[in-house]
Structure 1
């Protein structure tokens, strides 16, 4: 009961639309697919084995019966003919070759073309099928190891009728309605007969397999339906197993998220105290007069600022994962927030000799969280300035989207180092750095673009990157109105 409630909670948690849900949904889909393929593979193997057994019992085994019957008839005929009995050849042929057993028919075609048959319905049916086959030019078997399936309309005994002595039913035993032509299938084999080196004809033995074929195809239909049903059940149980497999992953993820949120929150206060203490220490006369001490204090201050920024980013992502980071939506002028951000980033661009310009001629009023949108502008422009060499260009453009879905297009372009094609699908992942060797040279922990994606998706928008190594990058954000 507890496990079912955990699975239900897991499925509900997966259906909540948050940026990181894609990872868990993809993982669960992959597990479901793999489990399903394993179960379906075993089902398919079982179906193939069952198909082989049914084919052998219903289709292939009659060919063995036909061959064995032919061997018995020919062996009996030849064995007694070697005894030089006074009985006539016709009596031997009638007794050994044209004697009918149940579900078997016998036909002897003499060299003159005359056809002799047994007295059963099966022999009459076999004669009819052979005549039709010869008329259509069908190649008949010439030895007992060859088999041919003949199909057509002929007299066929109803399956429920069988004499107690297990002999072949005679034609005169049935009414005229039972002797009307019906669809029939017979497996036949043939063998030439010789007496003292002279041909006496070709013997054909056939067995009625109409019922066997009907049973086989009916069973195949039921087997196919059962296979499809069990495939659906396999997918269902695979989904359940995948959900159970994801439970410890969710539990571990929740613990990690709570730890990240708690640690980030707890670190903010002591880091702020340290930063204030270092600001106070910088004003000390002894530090100002000592260049080495001033440099050490300055470096400490910069590292603490980086730690404060990192803890703030981690706290933002942790809140976004938990769904507690609500947006304060209201109508705002997007161009105003963009202009303020550009002016705040401009000193960094000027310090690196980068030309920063923007095109914000129109008014862009949308419903958004102004603080989060400004954070989005800061992340994109700060990244562009960081990875653009001196003398480069960084631009910010706002445009209306006049096609459905309507909205605003935010474009941040630079002439920086660019992003290789193999890294572009991962630039929005947390802690991902395109070039790990630049981690120390360029500030940041690979969280900025993750936050940018969360802000965009929280506003029901999308973010994409287009880049070529050595030619710069362009980040495009679409926000609906």
Structure 2
């Protein structure tokens, strides 16, 4: 397939897209974004609440258990020693401090450095972790309100709650030599123990939270995956809701477009009849001999011409919106067409004593695949606007430049020394019926449709148009057209 055929097919495809579809798509994207943010915000709030709940149940709750266990052990030891001091202190220490509970380990470090442990495998694991922590210089907690989390390898049991009715004897504990060391994580707190002011040692209570941490991080992974999935669903449903919200807007716009096209088409015939009738009326001697009648007829003729021009512009835009306006694409030399257009606009410029300049590189190629009639219409709109908004004695220049970098094409620049466009109005000059309503432009004819048509012609050819202007100094319209 030749390059020209590809460009021709591409331009036809671009033409089928309605220029105003961009507005609807932007609106739909905006609605989708807003709906998505609302749904995702509620989803994020739910995730935060669920995260806080899981953290409390799996991470924070064991910490509370450790502190409460330590407090109960210390309180039981001190209270019974005050009520009955005849029994052996060692028996009290063993019963109140080294007695194990579910998933708990107990270690008592005496002032001499000797370590006493509880009867369960958790106590043995706690002893191993404490020894490693002390060897690595880790500071252990010395107050029941403090806690740390130690990680390492030690003997640990599966977290299965024992039978409450079974007697708790040393025979229930398993030999650590019969098990293989496994990664373990324990929450540990400590508290010094005293008897009549003399230190007995430091009691450490730890709870195995390895399973809880694994469950927490696994749940977080699932929760993160679910969050991403529901975010995607939120975007999808937001897009669907936005599409439904756009249905009445699209229907209303389609009715408006059809009315504009039908009205413009129906007005052309009676306006043409009126214009022909006025031409016939001007041939009458009675009209020519009456200055007032001649002036009225001329004014009527001028207004009818303006209405014909307006209906033609409306019909062009309505057809462009519907996608029914086809381009007749062929290879054309743009510099020749631009020269002919400059000559057609010259009488208007000479009437205001405006100098016209046409510049292009004669050695460059300005051949592009285009609809020459539409390109000529584009040039007329830009040059007519330039002449219209340039005061007497000003200048208007048309420049053609070849684009050497990819994608190749042609730049069309129309510069004038006119009144300029305020900065705040520049983004809207290509909107339909938009006019800069300043006192100096109120007397200038037009309906604000020319630049809208210019933008449609440019975009239909796969190009772009933009404006640069300084108030009081002039404007430059730049059109980029592909080859």
Compute the displacement of 1:175 (Å): 5.8
What per-residue deviation string (whole Å, max 9, x for no partner) do you get for residues 177-229 of structure 1?
64332211111111222222332222111111011011111111111111111
**Aligned equivalents of 2:168, 2:64: Cα separation in 1:** 19
Match of 2:465 among 445, 463, 466: 463
**Aligned equivalents of 1:152, 1:129: Cα separation in 2:** 6
Do structure 1's residue 80 and structure 2's residue 86 form an aligned pair? Answer: no
- Inter-CA distance 323–391: structure 2 relative to 1 (3 Å threshold): same
Q: Answer with 396-405 or 178-187: which moved more.
A: 396-405
- Inter-CA distance 289–171: structure 2 relative to 1 (3 Å threshold): farther
Q: Answer with 274-283 or 232-241: which moved more.
A: 274-283
Higher relative contact order structure (alpha carbons within 8 Å, sequence separation ≥ 6): 2
Q: Are the aligned partners of 1:358 and 1:396 in contact in 2 as well (CA < 8 Å)?
A: yes
- Inter-CA distance 173–72: structure 2 relative to 1 (3 Å threshold): closer
Three-state SS of the structure 2 residue aligned to 1:116 is: strand
Q: Answer with 165-174 or 459-468: which moved more.
A: 165-174
What does 1:77-116 align with in structure 2 at a 5 Å threshold? 77-116=77-116
**Aligned equivalents of 2:40, 2:168: Cα separation in 1:** 46
Compute the displacement of 1:60 (Å): 0.3
What's 2:437 paired with?
Answer: 435
Compute the displacement of 1:104 (Å): 0.7
Do structure 1's residue 475 and structure 2's residue 477 form an aligned pair? Answer: yes
What's 2:418 paired with?
Answer: 416
Three-state SS of the structure 1 residue aligned to 2:150 is: strand
Q: Are the aligned partners of 1:157 and 1:178 in contact in 2 as well (CA < 8 Å)?
A: no
- Inter-CA distance 365–122: structure 2 relative to 1 (3 Å threshold): closer
Compute the displacement of 1:14 (Å): 12
Compute the displacement of 1:316 (Å): 0.2
What's 1:324 paired with?
Answer: 324
What's 2:288 paired with?
Answer: 288
Q: Are the aligned partners of 1:396 and 1:410 in contact in 2 as well (CA < 8 Å)?
A: yes
Compute the displacement of 1:311 (Å): 0.9
What's 2:347 paired with?
Answer: 347
Do structure 1's residue 54 and structure 2's residue 54 form an aligned pair? Answer: yes
**Aligned equivalents of 2:262, 2:462: Cα separation in 1:** 28
What per-residue deviation string (whole Å, max 9, x for no partner) do you get for residues 4-43 of structure 1?
xxxxxxxxx9995232221111111111111111111111
TM-score normalised over the length of structure 1:
0.91
- Inter-CA distance 434–174: structure 2 relative to 1 (3 Å threshold): same
Q: Answer with 66-75 or 376-385: which moved more.
A: 66-75
Compute the displacement of 1:49 (Å): 0.7
What does 1:277-426 align with in structure 2 at a 5 Å threshold? 277-359=277-359, 362=362, 364-426=366-428
Compute the displacement of 1:147 (Å): 1.4
Q: Answer with 13-22 or 286-295: which moved more.
A: 13-22
Three-state SS of the structure 2 residue aligned to 1:423 is: helix
**Aligned equivalents of 1:85, 1:409: Cα separation in 2:** 104
- Inter-CA distance 202–167: structure 2 relative to 1 (3 Å threshold): farther
**Aligned equivalents of 2:169, 2:444: Cα separation in 1:** 98
Q: Are the aligned partners of 1:121 and 1:171 in contact in 2 as well (CA < 8 Å)?
A: no
Three-state SS of the structure 2 residue aligned to 1:82 is: helix
Do structure 1's residue 232 and structure 2's residue 232 form an aligned pair? Answer: yes
Three-state SS of the structure 2 residue aligned to 1:19 is: coil
TM-score normalised over the length of structure 2:
0.91
Aligned residues: 469
Compute the displacement of 1:431 (Å): 1.4
**Aligned equivalents of 2:103, 2:181: Cα separation in 1:** 16
Q: Are the aligned partners of 1:120 and 1:171 in contact in 2 as well (CA < 8 Å)?
A: no
What's 2:261 paired with?
Answer: 261
Compute the displacement of 1:155 (Å): 1.6
Q: Are the aligned partners of 1:330 and 1:368 in contact in 2 as well (CA < 8 Å)?
A: yes
Q: Are the aligned partners of 2:464 and 2:480 in contact in 1 as well (CA < 8 Å)?
A: yes
Compute the displacement of 1:118 (Å): 1.0
What per-residue deviation string (whole Å, max 9, x for no partner) do you get for residues 241-287 of structure 1?
11111111111110010011011111112222222233333344444
- Inter-CA distance 183–167: structure 2 relative to 1 (3 Å threshold): farther
- Inter-CA distance 285–467: structure 2 relative to 1 (3 Å threshold): same
Q: Are the aligned partners of 1:439 and 1:445 in contact in 2 as well (CA < 8 Å)?
A: no
Q: Are the aligned partners of 2:15 and 2:460 in contact in 1 as well (CA < 8 Å)?
A: no
- Inter-CA distance 367–117: structure 2 relative to 1 (3 Å threshold): closer
**Aligned equivalents of 1:300, 1:85: Cα separation in 2:** 124
Compute the displacement of 1:364 (Å): 4.2
Do structure 1's residue 33 and structure 2's residue 33 form an aligned pair? Answer: yes
What per-residue deviation string (whole Å, max 9, x for no partner) do you get for residues 70-129 of structure 1?
121112112111113411111111111111112111111222222221111111111121
